[in-house]
């Protein structure tokens, strides 16, 4: 079990089932679909000439951080025998198919990872993942990502992180970095307030990122009152998100996304 680096106060945040789930202080659920960081929401957004809120959307894994947080989590869980070897083998098989760009069930693999936490209280798991973030992920946060977020915030843009990783990990990142809003994969909670190994809705992956970002911004800012001005992504699965933005930015892109970026004239950033 990971021990906290420093004690952190929390606020009780009802999840979709109405079960209180402590998250870092200042991070709260601002819509049914997304989290907001209250400490960063005092600044008014600067509207565009068309009177719209400019949104800067960031992928998380590989874009904001070096590496992939779910992969790092699986390695930790396997090393500490919190996942059965048979489950780890199935996850590795899924990863090999994913690397080969074969169609995969995103919900299924996230359920496998969360078997380590199924049946455990939400508060305990959220705390575990927050401490895991502090010790194993935050040091991987890219300085250039921090600078870009900070610049967007100072210009009055809405900074939104749209990620397939688990919500408590993103909540921890919001405590440390200028992420104003976040949409991430949420796991279902049972009637006793314990996590299950089932995904709530859909994993925030591929074209789903555009769909959930659109739904969130329509709810938060009003339909037709916002625009996706910037989008940052590193992986070919981020193509849909980048294609929807006025200013798409490919961050240290993989080969397929590099080809797309060159063909479409996207900015290529080496972070």
CATH number, domain with residue 174: 3.40.50.1000
| Burial class (CB within 10 angstroms; exposed 0-12, middle 13-18, buried 19+) of 133 | buried
pTM for the full model?
0.87
d(CA 212, CA 73): 24
Does residue 16 form part of some domain? Answer: no
d(CA 121, CA 187): 12
Which comes out higher in pLDDT, residue 8 or 69?
69
Alpha carbon of 172 to those of 159, 238, 269: distances in Å? 16, 23, 25
Residue 99 has pLDDT above 50, yes or no: yes
Least confident window among 15-24, 166-175, 208-217: 15-24
- What is residue 152's three-state secondary structure? helix
Which comes out higher in pLDDT, residue 135 or 106?
135
Using one digit for the tens of pLDDT, what is the confidence trace for 157-207?
999 999 989 999 999 999 899 999 999 988 888 888 899 988 887 778 888
Q: How confident is the model at residue 109 (pLDDT cuts 50, 70, 90)?
A: confident
Mean predicted lDDT score pLDDT of the chain = 84
Q: Percent of the chain at pLDDT above 70?
A: 83
Does residue 10 form part of some domain? Answer: no
Does residue 12 form part of some domain? Answer: no
127 touches 134 (CB < 8 A): no
Does residue 7 form part of some domain? Answer: no
Q: How confident is the model at residue 31 (pLDDT cuts 50, 70, 90)?
A: confident
Using one digit for the tens of pLDDT, what is the confidence trace for 244-255?
999 999 999 999
d(CA 61, CA 251): 11
Does residue 15 form part of some domain? Answer: no
167 touches 131 (CB < 8 A): no
Q: What is the pLDDT of residue 7?
A: 42
Does residue 188 form part of some domain? Answer: yes
d(CA 254, CA 231): 16
Domain count, the chain: 1
Which residues form the domain of 196? 22-269
Q: What is the pLDDT of residue 15?
A: 53
Q: What is the pLDDT of residue 134?
A: 93
Does residue 29 form part of some domain? Answer: yes
d(CA 217, CA 210): 10
Q: How confident is the model at residue 93 (pLDDT cuts 50, 70, 90)?
A: low
Q: How confident is the model at residue 102 (pLDDT cuts 50, 70, 90)?
A: very low
The residues with which 182 forms a beta bridge, in sequence order, are 35, 161
Residue 133 has pLDDT above 60, yes or no: yes
Does residue 13 form part of some domain? Answer: no
């Amino acid at each position: 079990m990971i021990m906290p680096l420093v004690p952190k106060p929390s606020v009780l945040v009802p999840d979709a089932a109405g079960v209180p789930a402590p998250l870092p202080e200042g991070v709260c659920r601002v819509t049914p679909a997304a989290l907001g960081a209250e400490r960063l929401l005092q600044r008014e957004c600067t509207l565009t000439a068309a009177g719209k809120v400019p949104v800067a959307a960031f992928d998380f894994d590989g874009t904001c951080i070096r590496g992939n947080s779910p992969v790092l989590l699986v390695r930790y869980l396997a090393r500490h025998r919190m996942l059965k070897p048979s489950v780890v083998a199935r996850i590795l098989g899924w990863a090999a198919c994913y690397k080969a760009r074969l169609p995969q069930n995103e919900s299924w693999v996230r359920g496998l990872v969360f078997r380590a936490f199924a049946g455990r209280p939400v508060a305990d798991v959220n705390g575990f993942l927050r401490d895991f973030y502090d010790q194993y992920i935050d040091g991987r946060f890219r300085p250039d990502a921090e600078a870009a977020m900070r610049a967007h915030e100072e210009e009055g843009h809405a900074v939104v992180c749209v990620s397939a990783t688990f919500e408590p990990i993103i909540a921890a990142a919001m405590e440390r970095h200028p992420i104003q809003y976040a949409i991430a994969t949420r796991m279902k909670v049972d009637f006793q307030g314990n996590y299950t190994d089932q995904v709530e809705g859909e994993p925030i992956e591929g074209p789903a990122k555009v769909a959930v970002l659109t739904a969130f911004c329509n709810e938060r800012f009003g339909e037709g009152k916002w625009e996706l001005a910037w989008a940052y992504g590193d992986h070919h699965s981020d193509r849909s998100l980048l294609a929807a933005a006025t200013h798409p930015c490919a961050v240290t892109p993989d080969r397929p996304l590099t080809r797309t970026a060159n063909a479409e004239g996207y900015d290529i950033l080496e972070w």
